[in-house]
Structure 1
Amino acid sequence: MVVNVAIYLVVCATPPVLFWLASKAPAVAAALRRRREPGPVGLPIERLAADLRRVHRCLADLAPDAPIVRRRATHQAYDALLVQACAALGLRHWLDELPEGVERDIERLRVEEALRRAGLVVP
């Protein structure tokens, strides 16, 4: 008798449970897809471009008698923004590897030109 009641409950309860699970499957699949999609990494390229233009203006407006610390800090900030822009656009650079001097200045010019060719407006 108990077996018959258990079979009856399974037969009556299984279809509603299966239909309920099937109705929730699209929502669960959408939640899994949303969780797997990678979010943006780093700053938006528009913000990087605006920051590059702003720091480039600061470099151009530095007075000749500006302290060397301010000059180096501004160059380092500009180089850091160039590195971030290269990472955002997938361009190669060697700004991190080169020491301060003529080689780094040449690499900075090369990176600026590569960014221009990639469509980023750099002064």
Structure 2
Amino acid sequence: MGDVAVTNVVLLVVAVLAPTVLFWLLLRLPRVVDGLGAAVRRRRGPSPTGPPIERLAADLERVRRTLAEFPPGTPQVRRRAAGEAYDALLAQACRAVDVPHTLDQLPQGMAREVERLRVEEALRRAGIS
């Protein structure tokens, strides 16, 4: 009879503790999954923050072509807006390939045109045509 009583006590303890342990494990599961996901992200390295460089290059070419093909009589506001968009794209491309620039610090005029030409050449050397 002694063995049966011990077996019954063990079964009773397992029956009482099993649901508690099961629910505790279910509550910990999201943390474990998040921890595994973070470990995988760390192993892969940092993810890029901006658009793909291929898209930036295509956008730069499109806006550059638009600027060159403006017909005579195009309103100055439109030319200036396209120039600002082009400068913003140049700045994004510079950040993507770690090319220093001062486009956002210069006012409109000759100094900004010279900086734009310098940046375009630096981006060409970095592989963005």
Shorter-chain TM-score above 0.5: yes
2:38 to 32, 38, 42: 32
Say which structure is richer in helix.
Answer: 2
Which secondary structure does the structure 1 equivalent of 2:61 belong to? Answer: helix
| Structure 2 counterpart of 1:103, from 78, 97, 111 | 111
Q: Which amino acid aligns with 2:40?
A: R
Partner of 2:95: 87
| Residue 112 (structure 1) aligned with residue 120 (structure 2) | yes
2:21 corresponds in structure 1 to: none
Query: Which aligned runs of 4 or more in structure 1 are off by greater than 6 angstroms?
Result: none
Larger radius of gyration: 2
Partner of 1:70: 78
Q: Specify the code of the residue in structure 2 equivalent to 1:108.
A: R
Which letter does structure 2 place at the counterpart of 1:77? A
The normalised TM-score by structure 2 is: 0.69
Distance in structure 1 (CA, Å) of the matches to 2:37 and 2:61: 40
Per the TM alignment, residue 30 of structure 1 is displaced from its structure 2 partner at its CA by 4.0
Structure 2 stretches lacking a partner, 5+ long = 1-8, 14-31
Amino acid at match of 1:88: A
**TM superposition shift of 1:31:** 2.6
Q: TM-score, normalised by structure 1?
A: 0.73
Aligned counterparts of 2:79 and 2:61: Cα–Cα separation in 1: 16
Matched, 1:43 2:35: no
Residue segments in structure 1 that go unaligned for 5+ positions in a row? 10-26
Higher relative contact order (CA 8 A, sep 6+): 1
Percent of residue pairs bearing the same amino acid type: 59
Aligned-residue CA RMSD (Å):
2.7
Q: Which amino acid aligns with 1:32?
A: A
- Map of 1:61 onto structure 2: 69
